[in-house]
Structure 1
Amino acid sequence: MRDLFELTKLEAHEVCPQAEAFPLTELVQDVLQKFQLTAEQRGLRLEHRFASAVPAVRADIGMIERVLENMLENAIRHTPAGGTVRIELAAEAEHVLVSISDTGRGIAPEDLAQVFDRYYRADRGEFGSAGHAGLGLAITRRIVELHGGSIAVDSAAGVGTTFRFGLPAVPWHG
Structure 2
Amino acid sequence: MKFYLSNRESTLELDFLTAAKILESIPEEKIKKLPLESYYELLDKNKTAFFNATIDEIIEIRSKKGRDSSTQLLKILKATQKNGRQLTEDQEEYLKKVINRLEEGSLPKKTVQKALKALSELEKDIQNPLKVIGVLQREISPTFLKSHYAETSAITEGKREVILSLYLTGESNG
* TM-score normalised to structure 1 length: 0.25
Larger radius of gyration: 2
Larger fraction in helix: 2
Larger fraction in strand: 1
